[in-house]
């Protein structure tokens, strides 16, 4: 029996999905439901289902980023989106990120059953210990990395920006984000963050009247000595030398 999780913020939709589809007859069982995206992610990480039916227009959730997170973290999980959001480009991107079907509410029973049949048939074709990463999982990984880097650039001057904070923003675990960043950029989270902060500091060092301690504090460093060491490591100059050089 393939294991199924349902996620939707409308209780009526969850009840309907639970009862209208002949799950057992189609070789499946519902192992959990969630009424919001964050609870859904936690449930999926805990139960690791084979099949997911989910809405993507839920409060406080970026639907595409959530789908990318799921596609990258669980590459063999079959996902169907069930939503009232009618947007062709959005649907196309969702499918690029690994979604099996993008269904518009209200979906009829035949459409739901056909979607489930397709997902079951895909799972049937997987070897018992599938290790190959599907191409759309790589797309999802790229999407997550770009979203994480954008968030880091916008927030890198915060003193306490952490891997955990960024991972939560893109809906993946810290471990998974660390792995994706290293795979896609060849650098660790802390190396990337340090480079971004130093780039920001260069602009501030060219600002008249700002001393080096102020620059360090504004770019997320609590210790000016640490800032100076990092700056020299990445640029070959101390902050003072950089400023005197007129760069």
Domain of 63, in residue numbers: 2-130
Return mean pLDDT, the chain.
90
What was the pLDDT predicted at 167? 95
Same structural domain, 220 and 114: no
Q: Please indicate, yes or no, whether residues 15 and 105 belong to a single structural domain of this protein.
A: yes
Q: Which CATH number is 36's domain given?
A: 3.40.50.2300
**Predicted pLDDT of residue 129:** 59
125 & 141 share domain: no
**134 pLDDT higher than 80:** no
**Tally of helices (H runs) and strands (E runs) in the chain:** 12, 5
Question: What is the C-alpha separation between 28 and 230, in angstroms, rounded?
Answer: 54
Instruction: Show which of 130, 149, 164 is a domain's final residue.
Output: 130
Find the CATH number of the domain harbouring 175: 1.10.10.60
Closest among 121, 184, 174 to 149, alpha carbons compared: 184
Give me the number of domains the chain comprises: 2
Residues 12 and 113 both lie in one domain: yes
Residue 74 has pLDDT above 70, yes or no: yes
pTM: 0.81
Q: Categorize the per-residue pLDDT at 1 as very low, low, confident or very high, splitting at 50, 70 and 90.
A: very high
Same domain, 9 and 97: yes
Asked if pLDDT for residue 247 goes beyond 60, the answer is no
Choosing from 100, 130, 160, the residue where a domain stops is 130
Which tokens go with 212?
Answer: 């080096």
Q: Which of 80, 75, 25, 23 is nearest to 51 (CA)?
A: 80
H or E stretch at 69: helix 63-73
CA 17 distance to own-chain centroid: 26
Residue 159 reports pLDDT greater than 90: no
pLDDT of 97 over the 90 cut: no
Residue finishing a domain among 95, 130, 165: 130
Does residue 137 carry a pLDDT above 80? no
Cα first-last separation, the chain:
65
pLDDT of residue 105: 86
Longest dimension (CA), the chain: 76
What is the rounded CA–CA span in Å between residue 175 and residue 167? 9
In degrees, to the nearest 5, what angle opens at C-alpha 149 toward C-alphas 58 and 214? 115
Is residue 20 domain-shared with residue 119, that is, in the same domain? Answer: yes
CA distance 34 to 17: 12
Across the range 66-81, mean pLDDT stands at: 91
């Amino acid at each position: 029996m393939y294991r199924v999780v349902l996620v939707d913020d409308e209780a009526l939709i969850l009840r309907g999905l639970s009862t209208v589809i002949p799950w057992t007859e189609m070789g499946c069982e519902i192992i959990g439901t969630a009424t919001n995206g964050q609870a859904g992610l936690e449930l999926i990480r805990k139960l690791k289902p084979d099949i997911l039916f989910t809405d993507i227009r839920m409060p406080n959730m970026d639907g595409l980023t959530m789908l990318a997170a799921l596609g990258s973290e669980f590459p063999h999980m079959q996902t169907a989106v069930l939503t009232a959001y009618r947007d062709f480009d959005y649907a196309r991107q969702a499918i690029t990120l690994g979604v099996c079907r993008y269904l518009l509410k209200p979906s009829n029973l035949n459409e739901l059953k056909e979607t489930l049949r397709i997902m079951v048939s895909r799972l049937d074709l997987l070897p018992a210990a599938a290790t190959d990463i599907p191409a759309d999982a790589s797309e999802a990984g790229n999407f997550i990395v770009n979203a994480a880097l954008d968030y880091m650039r916008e927030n890198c001057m915060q003193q306490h920006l952490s891997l955990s904070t960024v991972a939560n923003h893109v809906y993946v675990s810290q471990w998974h984000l660390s792995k994706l960043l290293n795979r896609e950029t060849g650098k660790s989270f802390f190396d990337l963050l340090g480079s971004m902060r130093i780039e920001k500091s260069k602009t501030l060092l060219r600002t008249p009247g700002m001393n080096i301690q102020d620059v360090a504090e504004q770019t997320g460093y609590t210790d000016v000595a640490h800032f100076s060491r990092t700056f020299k490591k990445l640029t070959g100059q101390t902050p003072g030398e950089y400023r005197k050089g007129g760069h």
